[in-house]
């Protein structure tokens, strides 16, 4: 099941990238892990910078919600050097290590045409949505990978909170939330 779900994610990421290909702007992924989806984005958008945000060391305990403690220690089986080596095949990859959103502040204003939010947890997902939306160009797409994932209830809560506060509708495809910027 894990492989099948990953395959669905990669196909959806690729389709979103193909849809935004004619737009001007960069791309970003919040929650890179080992770089599987990042590789798809870099391959599909070869002429655009792709900002890749992750701690590359798992989740810091202080950002986990009480219902997310099962993530403590999760995703530590990756490291910056391994992902950097994998992504070295792509000139457009820009690895940004550290805790999001602090790491995004150094970029300033960026024009994004595609954002893949795969942060799993409430605070990181919400922060990614708040950061990405004002930077998304008209016609851009924001894909939230963990929206209907049973082990990631914080991601769904963040998507609903963001959508409700901003008054933005989103679509659901293959258990993922997708926002389209007018």
Average pLDDT score over the chain? 90
Burial 65-104, CB ≥16 within 10 A → b, else e: eeebeebeeebeebeeeebeeebeebebbbbbbebbbebb
Write the CATH number for 106.
Answer: 3.40.50.150
Do 129 and 117 form a contact (C-beta atoms < 8 A)? yes
Is the pLDDT at 2 greater than 90, yes or no?
A: no
The count of structural domains within the chain is 1
User: What digits encode the pLDDT tens for the residues 67-84?
Assistant: 555 565 566 778 999 999
pTM of the model: 0.91
What is the band of 3 on the pLDDT scale with cuts at 50, 70, 90? very low
Do 54 and 35 form a contact (C-beta atoms < 8 A)? no
User: Strands (DSSP E) along the chain, which ranges?
Assistant: 26-30, 50-54, 93-97, 112-117, 136-144, 171-173, 176-180
Domain of residue 75, residue span: 2-180
């Amino acid at each position: 099941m894990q492989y099948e779900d990953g395959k669905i994610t990669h196909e959806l990421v690729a389709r979103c990238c193909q849809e935004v290909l004619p737009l001007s702007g960069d791309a970003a992924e919040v929650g890179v892990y080992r770089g599987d989806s990042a590789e798809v984005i870099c391959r599909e958008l070869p002429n655009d910078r792709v900002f890749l945000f992750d701690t590359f060391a798992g989740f810091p305990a202080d950002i986990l919600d009480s219902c997310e403690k099962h993530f403590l220690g999760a995703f530590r089986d990756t490291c910056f050097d391994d992902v950097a080596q994998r992504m070295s095949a792509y000139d457009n990859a820009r690895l940004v290590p550290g805790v999001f959103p602090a790491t995004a502040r150094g970029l300033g204003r960026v024009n994004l045409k595609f954002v893949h939010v795969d942060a799993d947890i409430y605070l990181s997902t919400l922060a990614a949505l708040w950061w990405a939306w004002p930077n998304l160009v008209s016609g851009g797409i924001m894909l939230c990978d963990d929206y209907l994932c049973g082990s990631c209830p914080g991601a769904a809560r963040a998507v609903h909170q963001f959508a409700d506060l901003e008054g933005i509708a989103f679509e659901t495809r293959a258990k993922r939330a997708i926002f389209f910027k007018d």
